[in-house]
Chain A
Amino acid sequence: MQKEYDVIIVGGGPAGLSAGIYTARARLRSLLLEKAAIGGQIINSMLVENYPGYIDGISGIDLTEAMHKQAEKFGLETLVTEVTGVRLDGGKKTVTTGQGDFTAGAIIVAGGTERQKLDVPGEAEFTGRGVSYCATCDGAFFRDKPVAVVGGGNAAITEALELTRFASKVTVIHRRHELRATKIVQENAFAEPKIDFLWDSSVEAVLGNKFVEKLRVKNLKTGKKTDLAVEGVFVNVGSQPSTGYLKGIVELDQNGAVIVNGDMETSVPGIYAAGDIRSRSIRQVVGAAGDGAVAAVSAGKYLGG
């Protein structure tokens, strides 16, 4: 594999793929590096209902597979490897990876976020034995069984709604007194008889023998602890920008997200950020795709195209 490119894109979700479509189509030699699965987090979504152009929605994987093919058609190269660092030598940027160094004139970071874990006893032990991070994948294993969803955002409540197709009962455990999810999602959840809410509560431990049997839940207002009998627990408590390798290179906000201007340019000329990894991202596929296009056009201008 060639080691020098015009543009290196880090991250293979909608932001990175959209950037790749634009840079490759602009005839910039483009390499996309992805540490896990091309498609990013949206591949866990059964139905993306708000991406323009799909009247009845489209699954996350179908959407990103199409984006990937489209980008490859224009000449985008992809490599699955983890990026461990970025080095600046004058105008050139070197990206260090598990498979050696690659250099480019411009970099677009689009690596999204890492799902946060509960970080409580039992979580790791019972992963795959009742603890899940993907309701679309695992919901069907909990037919007629009680489950819990931890979290109150869009992803969490959408998962809760999806789970009502299988589970006998879905208990949403949320730290606050109200949901952060979009109004329409909230309305659907409140109208769903199978969904119950435990407000102002957090999970203290996941308990069971071989499989998950219950959760120890603490009421954050009263301090009272109770056990909730469930066989499945779906964790959706937010996420952290994947910017560990960018600390000290580009400016990050207090949450660790990359600060950009309207051109998606970071504090370092020639380094751009797109999608969920950037500060003030709307965390939607269409936003990520838009960011990717802006970053790609900006990178093209920077490179003198």
Chain B
Amino acid sequence: MGKPVEIKESSFDEAVIKSKMPVLVDFWAPWCGPCRMVAPVVDELSTEYNGKVSFVKINVDDNPQVASQFGVMSIPTLILFKDGKPSSTIVGFRPKAELKKSLDAAL
């Protein structure tokens, strides 16, 4: 069972940049309503894409550096990293079917 892992700035390199598998990073914050709506969808995706994509979450409130490094100015933002580089970005809440479509297109 895949499950998104909450990471901090200090482990971003290890978990995302150096990952051999593509990584979907969910930039979120507790005060953001749409982020809380995205969370269960990302949970489901992490199970469905288990073994193909790893899923991490990063709280932008506690980890502002990473957010600004990748130009995140709106949350929720999902960024898919391939070979350590951002390859596609989705800003705002999207239904699951739409997320799957973008994810499949980017993989």
Binding site for B on A (CB under 8 A): 35-39, 43-46, 59-61, 80, 82, 98, 127-130, 132-134, 136-138, 140-142, 210-211, 232
Contact = CB atoms under 8 A, between A and B. Distances in A.
A132 B74 contact: yes
Contacts of B33: 39, 43-45, 59-61, 134, 136-137
A300 B66 CA distance: 53
Nearest to A138: B74
Contact of A35 (B29, B60, B67, B95): B95
Given A128-B73, A140-B61, A37 B91 contact: no
Given A98-B97, A133-B92, A140-B61, A38 B37 contact: yes
A211 B74 CA distance: 12
B46 to A, nearest CB: 17
Contact of A132 (B36, B61, B73): B73
B96 to A, nearest CB: 7
B17 interface: no
Contact of A36 (B61, B67, B75, B93): B93
Nearest to A36: B95
Given A35-B95, A37-B37, A38-B37, A137 B73 contact: no
Interface of B: 29, 31-37, 60-61, 67, 71-77, 89, 91-97
Contacts of A127: 74, 91-92
Given A39-B33, A39-B37, A137 B96 contact: no
B42 to A, nearest CB: 13
Best-surrounded residue of B33, B75, B89, B94 (most CB of chain A within 10 A): B33
A44 B92 CA distance: 11
Contacts of A132: 73-74
A38 B34 CA distance: 10
A43 B67 CA distance: 23
Nearest to B75: A137
A43 B37 contact: yes
A128 B71 CA distance: 9
Given A128-B89, A128-B91, A141 B37 contact: no
A112 to B, nearest CB: 14
Given A37-B37, A128-B92, A133-B92, 14 more contacts: A39-B33, A80-B95, A82-B95, A128-B72, A128-B77, A128-B91, A129-B74, A130-B73, A134-B74, A137-B29, A137-B35, A140-B29, A141-B72, A232-B73
Contacts of B32: 134, 136-137
B55 to A, nearest CB: 19
Given A141-B73, A211-B71, A44 B95 contact: no
A137 B34 CA distance: 8
B50 to A, nearest CB: 21
A120 B34 CA distance: 25
